[in-house]
Structure 1
Amino acid sequence: MSRVDRRSLRFRLLAWLGGVSLVVVGVTWLLHGILLNNLARDFLGSRLQQEAEHVLHHFPQGHLSPSLWLDATGPAAQVFHHIYVLRLNNEVTTSHPLWLAPLAPLLDGEDETLVEVAWQGRQLLLYRKEFTLEERNGVLLIGEDFAPVAAGLVKLHWWVGGIAGVLLLLLIVLNLVAVNRGLRPLSRLQQQLVELQLGGRKRLHLDMPAELDELVEQLNRILDSQDQRLKRSREAVANLSHALKTPLSAVTQVLRGSRPIDDQRRGKMLLRLEDIQAQLEAELRRSRIAGPYTGQQTLIRHEAEQLIEMFSALYPDKCFRFEAVPDADTRLNIERQDFQEMLGIALDNAGKWAVQQVRCHLILEAVLTVTIEDDGPGVPQDDIAWLGRRGMRLDEGRPGHGLGLSILRQLVTHYEGELRFGVSDAGGLAVTITLPGGQPG
């Protein structure tokens, strides 16, 4: 027999629902017994009170004398079959002499009291009433044997308990059916996850309850992110293979040749090797792109301030100005290294071209907008459209291989953002990055 997994959702739901059902049915059954007993007691007490009022109503009218009323063979006892104890001043009479001893102490007590008296295995429900008759003070006790009624109530209570037990079993069965039907979407989800693992599908497609919509959507986002990473890795390998094949062959051919390597040929080889190094560096940077679905958040102002400080030391002759609207503790759903890479590429490019000043401005409203401007020579309007294209360099006189802005564009695209190039107020290049970023954390 298989062991029950106490960590399973099915076991926990059934345990909780079964426990709650047991408590509810048990408490209801106990309350039924208490309320049923109180109801019967109040009903008999009300009847005894009405009978006492009836007796006291007939005494002054002379219809029946007290002694005749209390006589066990009299008409009253024949009709009502109750126990009567009457005291007028110090004279005590009773319809059942055997009950006089246990009932006598109740003649002195509170008026209009309903009490229970147990004696010799019998249970008597007794009503006490004080009255005045012909200027004599009197006390009337009227009682009825409550034992048969209590026995009937106990029998009825256990019958109700049996019915409640059957209903409890039915409720447990219905809970089992409801839980099994409610967990069917999770079984289908598990089946599709197995298909994903075996390569039978690429995404999850389920008609799920509303509570699981976000889970399925998040899983699909993770799957898409993994697929994009796989594509980037394959593209990186293909790009490196294509880009390195020619320069490596050229360098290998020179090294294998018998011609001496003069300064001119050494310079060409060095350029080839630098190109190889730049390609490797660019593809490694692309492979580090995490994407927006990593579940990580970044303190954008803190990271921007650190990058500004780093590039101020890297370009000591340039003045880096930083303006930020977000608070210091504002977090956005952007992976930290991705944000550093985006802002770092733009700042590095501005630092290379600026004459004196670089300005970085962060604004967070519905989206995050980062603007980096420099006062360099700028880019002609006709050439702005070429910026960010892979391997495109507009000035061969400056260091670089034209890969940074293409990586920036790829990063912004992964985050479903927008990258724009324009002319700054100082005449240089203005780079504007707009990112959705999610809700501030």
Structure 2
Amino acid sequence: MKPARRSLVRRLVATSAILILVALIVAALGLTALFRESVLRTLDDRLTAAVSNIVATAEPTEDGGIEPTRLPPDPRYERIFSGRYWQINRLGPEGLGPVVGNSRSVWDEPIEVEPRFASRLIENFGQPVTYDVKGPDRQLLRVIGQAIELPGDGGQILVLAAEDRRPADAEVRRFAMVSIGIFLVFGIALAAGVILQVRIGLGPVFAMQKAVADVREGRSQKVEGDFPVELQPLGDELNSLLDHSREVVERARTHVGNLAHALKTPIAVLINETSMDNGDLSKLVRRQTETMSRQVDHHLRRARAAAHAKAIGARCSVDRVVDDISRTLNKIYARQGKSVSAEGMPGLDFRGERQDLEEMVGNLADNACKWAASAVTIEYGVRDDGNIFISVEDDGPGMDAAQREQALKRGVRLDEEAPGTGLGLSIVVDLASVYGGELELGVADAGGLSARLILPGNRDK
């Protein structure tokens, strides 16, 4: 199995899409991280202000507790489990002491201070320390604590201000989702732009591809077009290669012609010399020279067809070839009461030399006329695989399967009384195979022989 061909457009688009995707993901994560830091910084500033307010106004009470003389103005500190809390703990020689004051919102579940955070607060005495902990309503709290010493005999205390950080986290998540949506739309727009850019950027490549296809299909003799400086040298090299190919084909044709002339003249001399004598030796030489002549014609024709088939851009109209052959055969066989009719798809072209197509169709049509009772039909069109077919049918006696198999062999004649050399159908088979085609024999609708020629070609749109 052939490996799948890799597309340059797909490669460029895929590479750009991956780079865009990575860049957008990094940008989205970066922006989300910055927004998260901004939200937490705002939250920390609010908690720091609350701690500063409590520290500035904290005073001992008659019952041994400590209360700020001026409570934080936010009413949520007075609503149970509202999400905003403050708390004051004693600090003693053994570390963290009991709770001596708190907001009403704490109710009966004081803010937990883990030992490691208590150690940090004591180590950073007088400085705010931030940490996260589970709160009274089991929500995640953002806590800022500050250890201070009250004036006079107030002793050391730890002031805590906490706030439910779930709204802040939800805000960050909303921002992340919005960012993902925006970047997704932005990414799709960038991807569409990349595809458009690649298509426009590779436009000259596609134009060159079409120009080369025009040469291959015979619509043009050279790769023509206004190509960028990066592609023009390639176009020039292709045109040089095409010129060289044509020169090689022309030289091959010249050599084939010279060889034909060099061989056919001595053979003709031998045939002429032996035609005046009916001796056994003369008959033997005459038979062998006639065989040589047929073989030379066959192999020279095959060599010429091979040279034509390798030529780039060879192309001819099927309509014209079939029309010319049918008109010629109608004139030849009109006296015998035989007619040739042709119909098919217009605009059909054979990718090959006209004289080769004429020889193939002409052999089939002439053979059909020899055996037809009254009518020969030529039809042509396009198959599903893109190849063209030319079908020649007659209303003659036809052939059975064994005869059809024998008829395709070189030099085999099923009726020695009919004129010919026995090479007609084999010549068609050889020429068709040179072009990558084939000849199929079958039974015609009228009962005679059906010869179906399959060749490479195309129909102009």
TM-score w.r.t. the length of structure 2 is: 0.44
